[in-house]
Structure 1
Amino acid sequence: MNDWQDVNNVVVVGLGITGLSVVKYLRRYHPDIAVKVIDTRDNPPGLSELPAGIACYQGGWCNQWLAAADLVVINPGIALATPEIQHVIQAGTPVVGDIELFARHIDKPVIAITGSNGKSTVTDLTGKMAAAAGLRVAVGGNIGVPALDLIDESVDLYVLELSSFQLETTSHLKLKAAAFLNLSEDHMDRYRDIDGYRQAKLRIFMHAEAAIVNRDDPATFPEMFSGEVVTFSISQAADFALQSNNGREYLMANGHPVIACDQLRLVGRHNLANVLTVFALLQQSGICYEKGLEVLKSYTGLTHRCQVVEDNRGIQWVNDSKATNVASTLAALSGLTLNGTLYLLVGGVGKGADFSPLAPVLSSLNVRLCCFGRDGQQFMQLHPAAKQYETMADAIADIAPQLLQGDIVMLSPACASFDQFKNFMARGDAFADLAHQYA
């Protein structure tokens, strides 16, 4: 497929932001190829933005179009196990995702990051520090802008966040450095078991020159890898690690102190691991991370990730809507300094997850558990001070009159948002609006 001469008909399965980026890419770089779109939704997002002349089959599958395709490009939200896609694969037609098209097009250096949690922060900070070092950087993938929309001849470096879903359909992505941050149970509604999820993420190392892995999480290590393996850790010896000296903790690179932890504005120890990963990615890509230290010192993280949206009357409102799984909520809780009561809002779409690992952590906190959404009931047994609500707004309206100085209201739901919100960003924005209303 490097040579597009044999590709005359492409079917894009799944519209939305990613599907649109695929269509626009094909129209721009391969204008002679016939492109059609299939989306099983009756009124798919992005339909009104489709370029003129692109046919879209809505509300189901068009097997005739699939059978006639030379190439099928699927949205990462569509499982390869879907019967219609399996039929295409068995017929011998290539099935790829947008990242594979990106991989076969670009000739500039690429850094990529995957993991169950923290990948958006690492991706964003890597891009900002690389830009501070003087490079023209494009950041996207599973965060922000779709990879195909990033393509620009003026770019020096691409930094991509990649999900397991994207990696499933990617086989030729060459990387200067790739990081696998951590592994925890997620998307168990899509994978047979956690090892299937892990194997999808390990695909990030297929054509990487360097593998950045978590010394504290052996599941992140590639099983077979011919490049250089670089480790990070916040609890033991590693290439990039923490070290205390005269009562002050430092981020270390290859045994040398880089910056004191108390110079960072990021909240939570999980973010120390994220910064160490950024150092490793930049070093392995030949970029001087020291040129980005001033950017690092002022960096407060991403919107919707442990973001303080209100701090009034001594009451903090923390938006951690991006915590869509248990491990992410655990990470947020581990970084808390609590002087009053924690009102923790949890619930949504659980994706088949086991929420019991939250129980021992919650038992050590002065917490009121506010459970809402489709799977909110599953949290009720985790703590005696748990109460169920229909919506997040109902929960906040109930607790707002009880709030005292030193309390924290945190949205860290450990669930996806799709039962009541368009996405986690919309959920976080709704929380921020409620915080401004009640603070």
Structure 2
Amino acid sequence: MKDVEKKFDMVILGLGKTGISCARFFSGRNQVLALMDSRMHPPGLETAKKNFPGIPIYLGSFDQNILNSARELIVSPGIAVTDPAISMASRAGVSVAGDIEIFCRHVTRPIVAVTGSNGKSTVATLIHRMIEASGRTAKLGGNIGTPALDLLQGPEPEFYVLELSSFQLETTSSLDAAAAVVLNISEDHMDRYANLQEYAIAKFRIYDGTGTLVINLDDRMVAAFSRKSRKNICFTATEPGKNSFGIRELHGDKVIAYGDTVICPIKDIPLQGRHNISNILAALALGTAIGLPMQGMLAGMRDFQGLPHRCQWLKRINDVDWYNDSKGTNVGASCAAIEGLAGDNNLILIAGGDGKGADFSPLSAAAAGRVRAAILIGRDAQRLADVLHAVTAVYFALDMYAAVRLAHEQSRPQDIVLLSPACASLDMFTDYQHRGAVFAEAIERIGHE
């Protein structure tokens, strides 16, 4: 198709938060735009009509003629680039990109890029805090909080910190981060990817470019990605080698170390749990890669209490601690939460929801000897029960309040009750935040009874 036949410079697909940010970015740049969504009532429709009255909006399906008449499609991360209409437009010569790709084409300051199946919001937020505690300026966004293109408004910071999902990385080809990390790889979004390898390939796109690779030596797939041709800074929950962060024993206490250099005792860190220590090691490695002073990084770490819905301590009732890990939407996240918090058979797990086709079998090993009872809710409760019944007592609950009530009845002093669903939330809740809020409300009701 010849350029003279093109009707639009760009067609933006998806009228959610990302799509609206793309329209906002391009609307004043002399680009001929169109907006399109397969839904009749997408969440950003009224905003688009109000703020971009001159941009045509197409709803209800992806119009192939419109797509083919664009020079480039800007695809929101919730839309698979394998959609038949997008694939056909691509074969017709239409370029396909996402908002992160557009961001990378325009950004002029260093990027710190974070992805992984689990922990990426915590690590992105923590490295952002470390940068600011070091007296430097940074903006945080991407898959967390502010859409990436909105970060380009206003004064430029010294660094941009981007949390990136596999969906965003699929449509990104120009990323050259100063420092990048894949925290871990475990099954997630198996309703979108054919297998774990395909999912991992999308994640590893974050390592494209020339910057420093931060490598998790404890994750087999990530560790295999180390490159001799690039600068590598590694981290591990075991003894660190040269140019690596890790954990050492010193006079009976565990300490964070960089090679042979002791950094700080683990007992002095507000975030606890093995998975959170790994997150801290990753953030320290990223900070080292971009030249932050250790004093500033430690100040940022000590002021960081964690994020809501991520192994968040909520309340103690009758000497039982209740934790909200509603963001644990995949098996890897829930395994990490269980292993990080549980002692000897002292954890009651509330799990379930929409498993998105994931393999739940790793939960069996994580629960064995740690989880005394599992209370299951949601669409895939029976699939979870099939995996867990051999290693722990299994119960079913119709809703979150019933699950909390049952957990309260089953708990003993010194126990931990953990909501870590290993599933998405949309079968019962608006999103994982809503699920966590309902959990917290149910705990309050129990505490007042």
> For the superposition of Structure 1 and Structure 2, which TM-score range results when normalised by the shorter chain?
over 0.9
Whole-angstrom CA distance in 2 between matches of 1:375 and 1:401: 23
Whole-angstrom CA distance in 2 between matches of 1:366 and 1:64: 55
Q: Residue 396 of structure 1 corresponds to which residue in structure 2? A: 404
Whole-angstrom CA distance in 2 between matches of 1:8 and 1:226: 41
Q: Residue 443 of structure 2 corresponds to which residue in structure 1? A: 435
Whole-angstrom CA distance in 2 between matches of 1:289 and 1:7: 53
Q: Cα offset for 1:397? A: 3.6
TM-score (normalised: structure 2): 0.92
Q: Residue 311 of structure 1 corresponds to which residue in structure 2? A: 316
Q: Cα offset for 1:194? A: 1.0
Question: Does the 8 Å contact 2:165/2:203 carry over to 1?
Answer: yes
Whole-angstrom CA distance in 1 between matches of 2:268 and 2:94: 53
Map Cα deviations across residues 306-329 of structure 1 (whole Å, 9 max, x no partner): 001222332222110111111111
* Partner SS for 1:60: coil
Map Cα deviations across residues 162-198 of structure 1 (whole Å, 9 max, x no partner): 1111111101012111011111112121111111111
Letter in 1 for 2:155: E
Q: Residue 426 of structure 2 corresponds to which residue in structure 1? A: 418
1:42 maps to which of 40, 46, 55: 40
Q: Cα offset for 1:279? A: 1.1
Q: Give the unaligned 5+ runs of structure 2.
A: 1-5
Whole-angstrom CA distance in 2 between matches of 1:431 and 1:336: 18
**Residue correspondence of structure 1 range 38-437 to structure 2 within 5 A:** 38-50=36-48, 51=51, 52-151=53-152, 152-220=154-222, 221-222=224-225, 226-238=229-241, 239-338=244-343, 341-381=346-386, 382-383=388-389, 384-437=392-445
Whole-angstrom CA distance in 2 between matches of 1:415 and 1:68: 39
Q: Cα offset for 1:404? A: 4.1
Letter in 2 for 1:392: M
Q: Cα offset for 1:135? A: 1.3
Q: Cα offset for 1:58? A: 2.0
Letter in 1 for 2:21: S
Q: Cα offset for 1:133? A: 0.5
Whole-angstrom CA distance in 2 between matches of 1:370 and 1:56: 46
- Percentage of pairs with the same residue: 39
Q: Cα offset for 1:64? A: 2.2
Whole-angstrom CA distance in 2 between matches of 1:134 and 1:417: 39
Q: Tell me which moved more, 188-197 or 339-348.
A: 339-348
Question: Does the 8 Å contact 1:240/1:252 carry over to 2?
Answer: yes
Q: Residue 3 of structure 1 corresponds to which residue in structure 2? A: none
Whole-angstrom CA distance in 1 between matches of 2:284 and 2:11: 40
Letter in 1 for 2:427: D
Question: Does the 8 Å contact 2:407/2:417 carry over to 1?
Answer: no
Map Cα deviations across residues 119-176 of structure 1 (whole Å, 9 max, x no partner): 1111000000100001111011111111111113331110111111111110101211
Q: Cα offset for 1:226? A: 3.3
Question: Does the 8 Å contact 1:325/1:415 carry over to 2?
Answer: yes
Whole-angstrom CA distance in 2 between matches of 1:70 and 1:433: 50
* Partner SS for 2:283: helix
Letter in 2 for 1:273: S
Q: Cα offset for 1:223? A: 6.7
Rate the CA distance shift 1:160–1:208 in 2: closer, same or farther, 3 A.
Answer: farther
Q: Cα offset for 1:403? A: 4.2
Letter in 2 for 1:232: F
Letter in 2 for 1:346: A
Q: Cα offset for 1:263? A: 0.5
Question: Does the 8 Å contact 2:238/2:248 carry over to 1?
Answer: no
Whole-angstrom CA distance in 1 between matches of 2:360 and 2:220: 22
